[in-house]
Structures are given as structure tokens and as C-alpha cells.
Chains A and B, each alone.
Chain A
Amino acid sequence: MTKKFDPKELEHSKRIYKSATPKEDLSWYVKWFASACILTAVLARSAGVDYHLIDVWFSLIGTVGWFVVGMLWKDRALIMLNAVLVFILAQGILRGLMV
């Protein structure tokens, strides 16, 4: 059972361990959706070559999700990392479609 804290207590307490990132706003939902997509992609990757398409597409969706989170958090490291990953994944998809 989770104990409910008073908002003032939450704000000023050094005893209650709080998350540095926002909770239950748009970025929180996007973040968990993107994480689920990346986990699905890893699962598909470990399942074998037959699931390569699922792997690539879910990786792309997850990475785009994390890019959006980076934009919402205004975190330049997350934006940079995911922008590079999106570019490489999109390049891989395009190459696959061309062949």
C-alpha cells in the first residue's frame, strides 16, 4: 500500500525519496510507451532473424518516443542520442525497403 503524503511534506522533505523526472504528465506516458516498444524490440531481436522487421520498427518507434521525451524534458543529451539512433534506424529501414 502506498502512503499518501501531503504536497508540502513532499516538496520540502529530505526523507522521502523523489524522482528527478516528471511523473504522470505527458512525458511520463510517452516514456513508458517508448520503453515498452524498446523491450518488445529486444525481445524480437533475441527471438531470431525471422522477427527482424518487428525489431527494427519497434526500435524506431521507441527511439522516436524517447526523442519526444527528451524534447519535453528539454534534455539535450537525450535529444542528441535519440536523434542519432532514429537517423541510423531509419537509414536501416530505408535500405531494407530498397533491396
Chain B
Amino acid sequence: MKTDEKILNDMETEKIEEKLSSDIREEFANSTMTKAGRLAMELNAERKRLKQELAEMQIEVEDLKPATPTGTVDSHVKWLATIFAVSGVFCISAGLEQEGQWLYAVSACAWIYVGHCWNDKAIMIGSAITGTSVLMKIVEGLVQ
């Protein structure tokens, strides 16, 4: 009975050791400690290595993370506004003045909303003024 238990324990130990990285297994390969002690040391070294790896990955994620909100309503509005503005500028430069101006005006309104959600005055002021300028041109075109 005891032998069966020992065999099972040995098998589990081997399974755990298989999961450890080769560097750590090599480091403790010639250790004179008991098997349990060696396994504890190996697991501790593996834990430290994984912790360090996790910290490095966290730094990488932080480096790529935008400063502005993502996945919120305002981020979706922001993308819509970007598409409208790009289309607007493209239409204006292609000679479709009226259509381009309307697209740009809608985009400016959407950017004002985004600026309001982010509480960013520069975005609100910039978009409000460029939007007003475009709206004035639209009205001028309609009056003529």
C-alpha cells in the first residue's frame, strides 16, 4: 500500500518537474538536497521567474495602452467622427464641396461630444470653431 502511494507521489513529482523550465531543472540537477527540498527550491525559482515575466509583460502592455478611453461610447463616436472627417476632407479635395462640408460638420459635432466626454477643452474649442466655420460656409452656399 505504502509503495503504491510512493509511486503515485513520484509520478506527481515528475509531472510537476516536467512543467518547470529547463533552466531551473538544470540549475538544481546536481543538488544534494532531498527530492522534496529540491522540488520546493525549483518551484520557488519558477515562481520568481514567472513573476518577473509577468512584470515585463505588464510593462509592455502599459507601453501600448492608449491614454484615451477605449471600449466606451465616446471611443466609438470618436472613430465615427474620424471616418466622417476623413471622408469630408476627401470629398472637398475631390471637388464635392457641399457633401464634404456636411460630412465635416457632422464630424466636428461628434468631436465636440468626444471632447465633452473626455472633459478636454482643447478638443471642444478646436472642433467647435472649425465646425462653426464649415457650417457658415454651408449656409453661405445655401443662401447663394
Which residues in A have some Cβ–Cβ distance to B below 8 Å? 17-22, 27, 31-32, 34-35, 38-39, 42, 45-46, 72-78, 80-81, 84-85, 88, 91
Q: Min CB distance, B106 to chain A, in Å?
A: 14
B85 within 8 A of A: yes
Chain A residue contacts of B98, Cβ below 8 A = none
Which single residue of chain B is at the shortest CB-CB distance from A66?
B126
Given that A39-B125, A42-B133, A80-B86 are contacting pairs, would A74 and B66 also be in contact in the complex, using a CB cutoff of 8 Å?
A: yes
Q: 16 A-B contacts, Cβ less than 8 Å apart?
A: A19-B118, A20-B120, A27-B67, A39-B129, A42-B133, A46-B133, A46-B136, A77-B78, A78-B68, A78-B82, A80-B82, A80-B86, A84-B86, A84-B90, A88-B93, A91-B93
Chain B 80-93 interface 0/1 with A at a Cβ cutoff of 8 Å (1 = within): 01100110011001
Q: Min CB distance, B72 to chain A, in Å?
A: 9
B9 within 8 A of A: no
- Partner of B119 from the list A19, A32, A73 (CB cut-off 8 Å) is A19
